[in-house]
Chain A
């Protein structure tokens, strides 16, 4: 069966520090991968998605970046965190070429607090 891992589960970082969040998927090949952010009291915002290794699409301008160095690994990074980067970060995957509909499966999330 497929599983998705995210780490760390929680993170407290000072403003201006770098960030690296990692997401890995097991049990499937060529998944579509997604990073979402959920700010306090707000809905889900799609940040990035990837349809393959090295292929990253950005949904919103920001000081975050994403990379996909391996088929089932998706990394969210920042060189300098801002207070507004605080939130709950969720990674998700879906099957490439599922057509028809796009059912996504979510990881447990990383809660980031920037102080």
Chain B
């Protein structure tokens, strides 16, 4: 079945550092890919998405490119802020009929001043 693998956390960075959170997936066909963010004590919010190969999703300075050849969707940000501290989830959705979202286990990001 479909699956998503994320790098384990926590990822600890200083403010203004470069961020990469790795995400790879296994799926048949052409899934859509998502990054969700969960701030402390809150539900999940969609951060960005990409629906086909080579698409780049971007939002709030975060970017991720849908790489079908490497089945990856790594999240990047050039300069993190303390307010970016949260748990980040990579997810995919299949491309036929009704499809559930399949989530990775999440990666906690801690940014210190």
CB distance from B87 to the nearest CB of A (A): 9
- B contact face: mostly helix, strand, loop, or mixed: loop
Q: Mark B27-71, 1 if CB is under 8 A from A, else 0.
A: 000011010100001111110010100000000000000000000
Of B42, B45, B98, B105, which contacts A43 at CB under 8 A? Answer: B105
Query: How many residues on chain B are close to A (CB under 8 Å)?
Result: 25
B100 touches A106 (CB 8 A): no
* A109 contact set on B, CB distance < 8 A: 42-43
B98 touches A100 (CB 8 A): no
| Bound form: Cα–Cα A108–B41 in Å | 8
| B89 interface hit (Cβ, 8 Å) | yes
* B93 contact set on A, CB distance < 8 A: 101-103
A106 touches B43 (CB 8 A): yes
- Using CB atoms, name the residue of chain B closest to A91: B43
Q: Which bucket holds chain A's interface residue count? A: 20 to 34
* A111 contact set on B, CB distance < 8 A: 41
In the assembled complex, 12 residue pairs joining A and B whose CB atoms fall closer than 8 Å, in A order, are A6-B43, A42-B105, A43-B89, A43-B103, A51-B98, A101-B93, A101-B95, A102-B93, A102-B100, A103-B93, A106-B36, A107-B43
Residues of A within 8 A of B (CB): 6, 32, 34, 42-44, 46, 49, 51, 59, 90, 92, 99-109, 111
